[in-house]
C-alpha cells in the first residue's frame, strides 16, 4: 500500500495566505521582494480531472432572492444559485445572485455523482440572458453546496465559490477504493467496512483532486487505512485528524462463519 502523509510547505502556504490579507504582514514590509511562486500543477501518479467533464457553466444574473422568486426560477427551468467571494478561503462575502440551467447542472450531477461534482472546478459565465453574447463575468468556481429535493432529487439550488489560483478552499474529496479483488484479507472471507467516503482537505484550486485512490491490494484482516495514510498531492492540507480511520478489513460475518461449520 502506498502511504504518504499530506503536507504543505510553509513557503507555499504563506504565499497563498498573503493574498487574503488586507494589509501586508509586518515582517513582509522589511523583506526583499520574493520570487513569484510558480503555479501548482498535478503531479504524475495523482488523479487529474477528466477532460470530458470540462464544461463551462452558463448563468444569468438575478437581482432578487426569496421563496417566491426561487419558485418562479425553478418553474422556468432555472436553478437559483449564489457565487461567493472567498476572501480568506472559507468565509463568504461579495455574493452575486445568479440562476443556472437546471438541465446542465442535473446532467453534470447525474454523470459524475454528487460528491464528484462538488470536488471539481468549473468555468462559469454570467450573462444578462442565456441567449446574450455579452459576458458580465467569467470566473472559475467550485460548487460548494448542492441542495436536492429529498423525494425527486431535483436540483433546488447551488452555492458556488470563486476559485482563483491564490485561494485555499475546503473540499470534501471523494474516495475510490481499489484492489479489493486481490486484498489478502478479503480473499480470506473478511469484508470491507467503509467508514468515510470523502475526506476534507484545504486545497489550492489548481490541484483539487477529483478523487483519492485508496489502495487495498495489500490489506489483510484487521488492518485499517487512516486519513494520514492516503497518498495525495503535497500541496493539500488535511483538515481532519490523520489518525481518523477511512476503512477497515473486518473479520467474516457471523452468518458466514456459521455456514462454514
Q: Domain holding 219: CATH number?
A: 2.170.120.20
Residues 209 and 148 in one domain: no
86 close to 167: Cβ distance less than 8 angstroms: yes
Q: DSSP state, 208?
A: -
Are 164 and 140 a contacting pair, CB within 8 Å? yes
Q: Are residues 127 and 106 in the same domain?
A: yes
The residue out of 127, 162, 197 marking a domain boundary is 162
pLDDT higher than threshold 50 for residue 114:
yes
**End-to-end alpha carbon distance in the chain:** 33
Q: Specify the range with the lowest mean pLDDT, choosing from 29-38, 81-90, 230-239, 241-250.
A: 29-38
The per-residue pLDDT of the chain, averaged, comes to 84
Res 253: pLDDT: 52
Alpha-carbon span 68 to 58, nearest angstrom: 23
Q: What is the pLDDT of residue 34?
A: 58
Residue 94 pLDDT > 90:
no
**pLDDT reported for residue 27:** 42
| pLDDT value for 246 | 97
Q: Domain limits at 76?
A: 52-162
Query: 140, 162, 184 — which closes off a domain?
Result: 162
- Percent of the chain residues topping a pLDDT of 90: 68
The β-bridge partners of 194 are 247
Do 152 and 243 share a domain, yes or no? Answer: no
Q: What is the mean pLDDT of residues 179-183?
A: 95
pLDDT at 121: 96
Dihedral angle of Cα 70, 71, 75, 80, to the nearest 10 degrees? 20
Is the model's pLDDT at 19 over the cut of 50? no
Residue 30 in domain: no
Q: Is residue 155 situated within a structural domain?
A: yes
Question: Distance between CA 79 and CA 60 in Å, rounded?
Answer: 10
Count of domains forming the chain: 2
In this structure, are 182 and 254 located in the same domain?
yes
**Full-model pTM:** 0.78
pLDDT value at 196 more than 50: yes
Residue after which a domain boundary falls, among 162, 194, 217: 162
Segments of 23-88 assigned E as strands: 56-61, 78-86
Do 154 and 250 belong to one domain?
no
Alpha-carbon span 63 to 81, nearest angstrom: 12
Amino acid at each position: 500500500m502506498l502511504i504518504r502523509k499530506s503536507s504543505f510547505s510553509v513557503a507555499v502556504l504563506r504565499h497563498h495566505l498573503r493574498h487574503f490579507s488586507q494589509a501586508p504582514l509586518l515582517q513582509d514590509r522589511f523583506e526583499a521582494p520574493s520570487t513569484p511562486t510558480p503555479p501548482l500543477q498535478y503531479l504524475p501518479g495523482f488523479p487529474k480531472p477528466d477532460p470530458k467533464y470540462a464544461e463551462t457553466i452558463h448563468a444569468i444574473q438575478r437581482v432578487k432572492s426569496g421563496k417566491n422568486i426561487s419558485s418562479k426560477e425553478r418553474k422556468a427551468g432555472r436553478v437559483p444559485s449564489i457565487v461567493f467571494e472567498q476572501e480568506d478561503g472559507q468565509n463568504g462575502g461579495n455574493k452575486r445572485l445568479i440562476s443556472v440551467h437546471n438541465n446542465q447542472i442535473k446532467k453534470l450531477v447525474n454523470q459524475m455523482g454528487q460528491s464528484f461534482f462538488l470536488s471539481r472546478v468549473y468555468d462559469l459565465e454570467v450573462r444578462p440572458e442565456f441567449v446574450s453574447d455579452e459576458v458580465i463575468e467569467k470566473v472559475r468556481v467550485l460548487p460548494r453546496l448542492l441542495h436536492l429535493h429529498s423525494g425527486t432529487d431535483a436540483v433546488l439550488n447551488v452555492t458556488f465559490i470563486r476559485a482563483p489560483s491564490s485561494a485555499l478552499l475546503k473540499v470534501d474529496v471523494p474516495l475510490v477504493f481499489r484492489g479489493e479483488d486481490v486484498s489478502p484479507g478479503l480473499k480470506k472471507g473478511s469484508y470491507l467496512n467503509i467508514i468515510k467516503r470523502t475526506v476534507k482537505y484545504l486545497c489550492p484550486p489548481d490541484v483539487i483532486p477529483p478523487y483519492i485512490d485508496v489502495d487495498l491490494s495489500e490489506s489483510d484482516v484487521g488492518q485499517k487505512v487512516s486519513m494520514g495514510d492516503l497518498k495525495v498531492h503535497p500541496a493539500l492540507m488535511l483538515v481532519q485528524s490523520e489518525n481518523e480511520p477511512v476503512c477497515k478489513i473486518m473479520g467474516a460475518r457471523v452468518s458466514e462463519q456459521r455456514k462454514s461449520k
